[in-house]
Structure 1
Amino acid sequence: MARELVDRRHEAELLRQAQAAPPSLAILRGRRRIGKSFLLARVLDGERVVSFQADEQDQRGHLDLLAVEAARLLPGAPPLHFGDWDEALRFFATQAEQAQVTVILDEFQYLCSAQPALPSIIQRHWDRWDRDELPLTLVLSGSALSFMEGLLGHDAPLYGRATQRPFLGPLDYRDAAGFVRASDPEALLRRYAVIGGTPQYQAWAGDRRLETVLRSAVLAKDHPLYEDPLHLLREGEGVRDPATYFSILRAIAGGATQHNQIATQTNIASSNLGARLVRLEDLGYLTGWAPLSADGPEPRRTSWRIADPYFAFYFRYVFPNRSRLERGLVEEVAREIGADLDNIMGRAFEDACRTWVGSYADEPEVGGSEQLGSWWSRDGSVEIDVVGVRKGRYALLGSCKWRRTVGADVLDDLHEAQAALGGKAMGARLALFARRGFSDELRERAQRERILLVTAADLFA
């Protein structure tokens, strides 16, 4: 069960290090609902912490609200007023001369939208704080990923000044399991395939059976999970023409992964589609997925995937059925989803297997891969679900099957795929991943050929 922090140990430690060794500048990145504000509130607390969460308004509004928060440093004093950002930053520096201060500017992109020069203003003050060894920690947090990455770029005013740069991603399948008491691996993987690794969504789903979560939350029109993906794109992310973005996500969730396929299904001109795909990628909702060869990813063959499992589920099952759900046909839609759910479990299982290889498996056992991904031939006739690459050679090749039992035919197919990759794949460790187990014939061959066999239960061991 989890209501405290779930697997944010690394990011929490980076923030603690920033606070413990001022002057320090930390830049925290991560998309919406991922838990940035929750993490900051739990890790950076105390009487000398000023935390301000910005929204879309002008600079005057931002400074007035920041002054209210900053007044916590001077209990009983008259109300503060900041005429501009220079005045606000000078105030924090003056306070730090008396005792250590931590200042958190959350959703930093909104502050910069109202005052584009803010990074340069902060740079001027930061250089002075750093020179004077002022005990002040400044944390800039934001969900506009490319913008926040840009703060770290070579040409950016704050380049080279960030002492900590934590990135907050979704929880993986094992850490997301911390939100429930259930221990059945298949049930946990199914839940992850639906709810995903967004902490807020896991919290909203609660410690309940997936069937209950579907009917009482995901498909219930009065529940946040029913509306949140649309709400984020309509209002939270500030995108123009959100209906167009809904259409793109619906097309990709339905299986259109290539640029031309998405353009055809959405009736969006190919020349206009690229910018929208990049925008969704910047917001953390899409990811480019390219075949991983021994020489690295093949970017010219990139396809598009919905990065968040819940968004993928939502735009496959909930969004196209909203009319029926609004009429109260929840049970009807839930039955259809239940009958089709295994069709999305293949990808979810593959993702979990790659995560296991990269984060939880014994490294020598899986070839010590430096890069992980998948590979498929140009004509689609050969697919390898798990590919590990090390020093220009294939270190691991794996096949994942969401079946109760996997037989020797799957190993034969993997050998053929290995041969299709050529000499750089010879000597790669082979692995088979199955939902429940393996046939006796396959187990005997695996022992002789030193094939790694992994079940869903092993992914949680």
Structure 2
Amino acid sequence: MEKPPEMFDRDHEWAALTRFVTDGQPGATLGVVSGRRRQGKTFLLDSVCRAVGGFYFGATEATDAESLRRLSEALTAFVRPASPFHLADWREAVDALLALGRDRPVPVVIDEFPYLARANPELPSIVQEAFRTLREERSRSRTRMLLCGSALSFMGKLLSGNAPLRGRAGLELVVRSLDHRLAAEFWDLTDPRLALQVNAVVGGTPAYRREFARGDTPSGAEDFDAWVIRTVLNPETPLFREARYLLAEEPDLRDPALYLSVLAAVASGNATRGGIAGFLERKAVDIAHPLNVLEDTGLLQREQDVFRANRSTYRIAEPLITFYGAVMRPVWPQLERPGAAARVWKARRRRFVSNVLGPHFEQVCREWALHHAGAALLGGLPASVGQGVVRDPSARTGHEVDVAVVGVGDGGKTPLLALGEAKWNDTMGLGHLDRLRRIRDLVTAAGRYDTGDTRLLLFSAAGFHDRVRDAARSAPEVVLIDAARLYAATPA
């Protein structure tokens, strides 16, 4: 299948779907496609159907009877039979979809499948029965059925544990946000510092540029503030209320005020369970459920401390929600007044740098170390990249590590490939390097990791002093990474 020219990237997803829907083997097959909202799943799957003459059905929030009636009408328009379809129930509906593939492999997409399953909880079991091994309707069909959904908590459980469809799917595809490099290309940004600032606001969600911002991108570094004011802080644009809508659209978030408060706590810099509980003035045990729900929905991510097994931190997965919680939510009534955006942004910009841009830069550095740095630069293949706190017993304090790259163990001690510090606005010098060396010594003394070849990574979007550049030239284990290097096609 030829990918549509207007589709940006998604080469991996397109190739996976191509293999699935054009597979000529006998027997109907089932696939599951998921991903957060606004990532282009509908465009991707609709394009697949258009490419090979498949059937696409987009479900809506409706009663069971209405959804069956809409599906009957869609099937009638697709097949054009002598008499129209009048599907009595979902067993008949699924068999009608399987019948579409009797002559050739045919993709059949049911988009927003969670809407249908919410109206009829038996639907996953009905699909399971329809795809039972040796069932005639399945064996005589080559339908390539794709169930798609944005409710990550529901989609994540669809194939897990004792779920009805476990073991039935031949494809499980997650459509993810664009990473920082692809997002810069998509937004047509060549200045790495500007690209990082835009990414800290809107992340890698494709719809935010094309539909929500109507193609409006900053013309240069000097236009960033004006761009924020005329897009995300502008009540006339969809971006203004998007963070709130993202929560409202999640079916499992039945108390939006509580979940908004939890996310606001994290956006304000309270990353631990105790910190979040303190922000909400509740006991830590009382917020376990909302934290778990937000994790299931993909809006919050829990990250284990690399150096302390009993400690973890939380991070908001969607940058726009972080921006909303840290910058917009505390002054929401002011922002709703026309013409107030410029005044509010001037007052809140420092908050943006400290609570949004700084932590986002650290996260981009961690993702770069995991996916783009390469084994040659790190001295080995990274198994995981995280952050953590290294205890200093003599000083009775702890040292925060922004980037910790853990390698693959071979039976002995697990290698610690790299320790890194990331600063958005600080020009880094020898003091930052000496701090990393001290942390490396403490990790060595703790004995958990092998630090014999640990690299020391200094990340800065503001640059480096000459003396630390000289140190990097004379010490191979010291690596300097500026903003431009984070966007380089290959690690230098």
| Pair 1:10-2:12 in alignment | yes
Amino acid at match of 2:8: V
Structure 1 130/396 Cα, relative in aligned 2: closer, same or farther at 3 Å? farther
| Pair 1:43-2:48 in alignment | yes
Alignment RMSD, CA only?
2.3
Amino acid at match of 1:86: R
- Spell out, residue by residue over 1:169-219, the C-alpha distance to the aligned partner (whole angstroms, 9 max, x if none): 221111111232231100000110111122222332334213233112211
1:443 is paired with a residue whose SS is helix
- Residue 103 of structure 1, aligned match among 85, 100, 108: 108
Match of 1:419 in 2: 441
Q: CA deviation at 1:404?
A: 5.4
Preserved CA contact (<8 Å) 2:128 2:165: yes
Q: Distance in 1 between matches of 2:136 and 2:305?
A: 47
Match of 2:383 in 1: 370
Q: Which moved more, 1:360-369 or 1:407-416?
A: 360-369
- Residue 482 of structure 2, aligned match among 437, 455, 461: 455
- Residue 334 of structure 1, aligned match among 345, 353, 357: 345
* Aligned pairs, number: 456
Match of 1:433 in 2: 459
Q: CA deviation at 1:6?
A: 3.2
Q: Which has the higher helix share?
A: 1
Amino acid at match of 1:459: L
Q: CA deviation at 1:370?
A: 1.3
1:163 is paired with a residue whose SS is strand
1:14 is paired with a residue whose SS is helix
- Spell out, residue by residue over 1:203-255, the C-alpha distance to the aligned partner (whole angstroms, 9 max, x if none): 32334213233112211112111112212323454632212222221122112
Structure 1 401/264 Cα, relative in aligned 2: closer, same or farther at 3 Å? closer
Q: Distance in 2 between matches of 1:101 and 1:18?
A: 10
| Pair 1:322-2:328 in alignment | no
1:376 is paired with a residue whose SS is strand
Q: Distance in 2 between matches of 1:5 and 1:359?
A: 23
Match of 2:87 in 1: 82
Q: CA deviation at 1:286?
A: 0.8
Match of 2:186 in 1: 179
1:382 is paired with a residue whose SS is strand
2:188 is paired with a residue whose SS is coil
Structure 2 residue ranges without an equivalent (≥5): 219-223
Preserved CA contact (<8 Å) 1:18 1:25: no
Amino acid at match of 1:92: L
Amino acid at match of 1:14: A
- Residue 167 of structure 2, aligned match among 147, 160, 169: 160
Question: Which structure would you say has the larger RCO, counting Cα contacts within 8 Å and 6 or more residues apart?
Answer: 1
Q: How does 1:273-292 map to 2 (within 5 A)?
A: 273-292=287-306
Q: CA deviation at 1:411?
A: 0.7
Q: How does 1:132-281 map to 2 (within 5 A)?
A: 132=139, 134-203=141-210, 204-205=212-213, 206-209=215-218, 210-235=224-249, 237=251, 239-268=253-282, 270-281=284-295
Amino acid at match of 2:374: D
Q: CA deviation at 1:332?
A: 0.7
Q: CA deviation at 1:156?
A: 2.2
- Aligned-pair identity (%): 34
Match of 1:409 in 2: 431
Q: CA deviation at 1:313?
A: 0.6
Amino acid at match of 1:244: L
1:430 is paired with a residue whose SS is strand
TM-score, normalised to structure 2, is: 0.87
Amino acid at match of 1:260: G
Amino acid at match of 1:335: K
Q: Distance in 1 between matches of 2:318 and 2:5?
A: 21
Structure 1 residue ranges without an equivalent (≥5): none
Match of 1:114 in 2: 119
Q: CA deviation at 1:90?
A: 1.6
Structure 1 77/333 Cα, relative in aligned 2: closer, same or farther at 3 Å? farther
Match of 2:472 in 1: 446
TM-score, normalised to structure 1, is: 0.92
Structure 1 211/129 Cα, relative in aligned 2: closer, same or farther at 3 Å? farther
Q: CA deviation at 1:104?
A: 0.9
Preserved CA contact (<8 Å) 1:6 1:175: no
Amino acid at match of 2:246: L
Q: CA deviation at 1:33?
A: 2.1
